Amino acid sequence: MIQLKVNGIQRNFDGDPQMPILWYLRDELRLTGTKFGCGVALCGACTAHKNGEAIRSCVTSMGTLAGAEITTIEGLSENGLHPVQKAWIQVNVPQCGYCQPGQMMQAAALLKSKKNPSDADIDDAMSGNICRCGTYQRIRAAIRAAAEAQT
């Protein structure tokens, strides 16, 4: 039995420890904000947090999560007003929107570790998150806006 917290709620998992947490989140907990993209940790659509750090949920097995605190886009803020979420709306980042939960989760992890990231910091942190619509300039602008809102 694997015990972990997901969005602040204690959970027990008694299934295959090799199962990626992405499928646990989406199929068992019905937290569908975390998206399936490539399945090999290259696109970032599945980004969630483990103990505050960004992870790729498509390749993170349940067996590695005993005692972990997992946060998904649904748990980033109770009311959807995390600085990153507000900045995404302010800057009008999404186009198709599919990758945006993963983008926001990666950005939130960045801003937790660096309160005022440089453009190079942003580019480095976000380089593993692909946006097929190409909204990278708006993503960077939203991260800057969220950083300013936090200070």
* Full pLDDT tens readout for the chain, 151 residues: 999 999 999 999 999 999 999 999 999 999 999 999 999 999 999 999 999 999 999 999 999 999 999 999 999 998 888 999 999 999 999 888 899 999 999 999 999 999 999 999 999 999 999 999 999 999 999 999 999 988 6
The per-residue pLDDT for 55 is 97
Q: Which of 75, 93, 118 is the last residue of a domain?
A: 75
Residue 7 shares a structural domain with residue 71: yes
Model pLDDT, residue 46: 97
Going by C-alpha positions, the residue among 67, 41, 66 that lies closest to residue 55 is 41
For residue 38, the enclosing domain spans: 2-75
Select from 75, 103, 122 the last residue of a domain: 75
Q: Are 2 and 17 in contact (CB under 8 A)?
A: yes
pTM for this entry:
0.93
Number of structural domains found in the chain:
2
DSSP state of 26: I
17 and 51 together in one domain: yes
User: Cα–Cα distance between 107 and 1 in angstroms, integer?
Assistant: 32
pLDDT at residue 60 in the model: 98
